[in-house]
Structure 1
């Protein structure tokens, strides 16, 4: 499956050079696959086969990103995530849960204990790499480019200018914030309630259906004749910045 998102430079810690990824997974074949694809894309990789080993490595080597399997022997991925988030030193370390559990309630549970994202098995290695880049950009904002891009759509954060191909796109403030959030989380599906929390804020009461109105306005503004619809609607789930295929 080809990468859908444009490749962007990896944000890094100057002391280490390449970002260090800790893969916490007890399936050796999957560890090998992940290591190959991550190292090919410029990451350094270390691995742990169980939760206890993972917690020790986090303390000693301070990885930039953790890929954490949900189903681990002895100490579950959920508990590992919970313990990492309790530590002042590591509470901001990005964590992506790897899980075969596809139920929405399970995914929400992972996010509630502190995971930044989740990927359901089986997954595309190229999608996982894109998710890794996205969470690292969010965790290290000082290294984030001022231009967000997906396909032929770009957003210049410094000038607040949005373009689709050679065409300027004019957006209202809410549509701009909505598009920025989707650009920063390419390919990930968000429910109306999640979009309300992230774009409008938890302290503002807005009807969930209001999201639909702004999504329609955003679609009308960014979609051009003969080009792909960049906003995907997932029935009973939500919306994503993702080419409809």
Structure 2
């Protein structure tokens, strides 16, 4: 499921968030939270689509599931961090992986934040706002 937007990011006035999850219900929930806070949203259900959308739109934030069917989230992070166009985009892992070693591995891969499923909507909103405000403040 991909939400179609204008042909380039300049046509979008609110912050753009890329939500990535292979579970359709989880992706729908992420999308509703993002749109409910007046942010633009594009979505991907696998790692390859996520990379393509990130390169094309250069979103302000990526909400990334780690357990994806083709490229896992860690591989997606590595690809995004290697590209000059996407290396500075904040990436928040939104994952069911909740062990301490999972957290460490995900953060060492280059994620800027981490939230475990199931999450409270207020916690997800807080993570989104914190990273978008930090991005705007440092831009």
Does TM, normalized by the shorter one, top 0.5? yes
The CA distance in 1 between the partners of 2:76 and 2:10, in whole Å, is 27
Deviation at 1:142, TM superposition (A): 5.0
Q: Greater share of helix residues, 1 or 2?
A: 2
Q: Give 1:159-238 correspondences, 5 Å limit.
A: none
Listed one character per residue, the Cα deviations across residues 93-134 of structure 1 (whole Å, up to 9, x for unaligned) are: 010001111111111111111100010110012211110111
Q: Which residue of 1 aligns with 2:95?
A: 99
The structure 1 residue matched to 2:115, chosen from 119, 124, 127, is 119
In the other structure, the counterpart of 1:63 is 59
CA positional deviation for 1:140 = 2.1
Tell me if 1:41 matches 2:21: no
**Cα deviation code 1:130-177 (max 9, x no counterpart):** 10111112222157xxxxxxxxxxxxxxxxxxxxxxxxxxxxxxxxxx
Unaligned runs of 5+ in 2: 1-8
Question: 5+ unaligned residues in a row in structure 1: which ranges?
Answer: 1-12, 144-245
**Aligned length in residues:** 131
8 A contact 1:92–1:139 mirrored in 2: no
CA distance in 2, matches of 1:92, 1:23: 17
Counterparts of 1:19-34 in structure 2 under 5 Å?
A: 19-34=15-30
SS of residue matched to 1:140 = helix
Which residue number corresponds to residue 134 of structure 1?
130
**Aligned counterpart for 1:51 among listed residues 47, 57, 75:** 47
Q: Which residue of 1 aligns with 2:83?
A: 87
Retained in 2: the 8 A contact 1:34–1:125? no
How large is the RMSD of aligned CA atoms in angstroms?
1.6
SS of 1:96's equivalent in the other structure is: strand
Greater Rg over alpha carbons, structure: 1
Of structures 1 and 2, the one with the larger relative CO (CA 8 A, separation 6+) is 2
